[in-house]
Structure 1
């Protein structure tokens, strides 16, 4: 395996890292949404949170490798400023810049989750909801810049990821709304 990696064109490595990162981040986001459903008990909720964190951190780490690997690519090398400064890359600067912003957004999400208690729940939640636009930027970056996007399997992956995030978000909204409606109909007050 190490021999294959050492001799593989960096273009393949960059592509694979991007796809793996996107799939892990999609799974992490979906678990984060599922974690917010109101009916989980403590043990299940703790397991969901642990897996959500692991997938998101892993996807971010692999995504960061995907982001810096073009610096060593011999076919279409990027310079460090094109990788680190959004919208300055020589090749497809807008799409590349969205990938860079997604990477920075993921780092902010991870960092603020680590200091969640210092931020307070409301501020942390406001920041954490930026996971949606970060995910959208990663989707646009991968779908429109990825050389594999014409492949039916990759297209299915992207469409499925968007459908899963939208469906789970809608289900979570309905699940959170239902207890409030039951409380209101029983004569209580909503929050």
Structure 2
């Protein structure tokens, strides 16, 4: 007969929270990369701008859902964290604050999409660009949490593998178009 080790409720919730955090991180990198590719028009010929924009929104929604599940996991544990510590920044360790601010920044950027109709384009764009610092805070949260839990070496390879393309695309977005044309990375305009 096989003996099954009894696992506590918290073990399952903790594993679910860790899995959802890793999926949120991966999708956060994908969402940001895809958003830059959509906004620059680099993939317009692939399927059309509307489909690319819709897929970016789907990635962002799934990212927020996994990040939400990650946070809620800490509420439902037997010795869970209080709600205030999860949703109010600077009420816990700095590594938790990074995660709270990252989630709230991404949520604000997502809500701005719904408000686009009632505000100016430039105000909407400024709010939506909160996703960039939110992304950086999410990366810091993941790094410092892994460091605090002693799992940095385990998650570093996957984390860096997903982070490098996102950072590269962001860097290319910041390079002036003339420099990209001169390097042969972009075609000249009309």
- Alignment TM class, shorter chain as reference: 0.7 to 0.9
Aligned to 1:101: 101
Aligned to 1:82: 85
Spell out the pairing of 1:1-191 with structure 2 (5 A cutoff): 9-39=12-42, 40-41=44-45, 43-74=47-78, 76-89=79-92, 93-146=93-146, 147=149, 149-152=151-154, 154-174=155-175, 177-178=177-178
How many aligned positions are there?
Answer: 172
Residue 129 of structure 1 and its aligned partner are, at CA, apart by 1.5
Given that residues 36 and 172 in structure 1 are in contact (C-alpha distance below 8 angstroms), is that contact kept between their aligned partners in structure 2? no
Q: Which runs of 5+ in 2 are unaligned?
A: 1-6, 183-190
Structure-2 separation of matches of 1:118 and 1:180 = 35
Structure-2 separation of matches of 1:31 and 1:114 = 19
Report the 3-state secondary structure (helix = DSSP H, G, I; strand = E; otherwise coil) of the residue aligned with 2:105.
helix
Superposition RMSD in Å: 2.6
Residue 117 of structure 1 and its aligned partner are, at CA, apart by 2.4
Query: TM-score, length-normalised on structure 1?
Result: 0.79
1:104-131 deviation per Cα after TM superposition (whole angstroms, max 9, x unaligned):
1111111101111222211111112211
Given that residues 109 and 127 in structure 1 are in contact (C-alpha distance below 8 angstroms), is that contact kept between their aligned partners in structure 2? yes
Q: Which runs of 5+ in 1 are unaligned?
A: 183-191
Residue 78 of structure 1 and its aligned partner are, at CA, apart by 0.5
Structure-2 separation of matches of 1:73 and 1:149 = 21
Structure-1 separation of matches of 2:181 and 2:85 = 51
Q: Are the structure 2 counterparts of residues 143 and 179 from structure 1 closer, same or farther at C-alpha, using a change threshold of 3 Å?
A: closer
Report the 3-state secondary structure (helix = DSSP H, G, I; strand = E; otherwise coil) of the residue aligned with 1:36.
helix
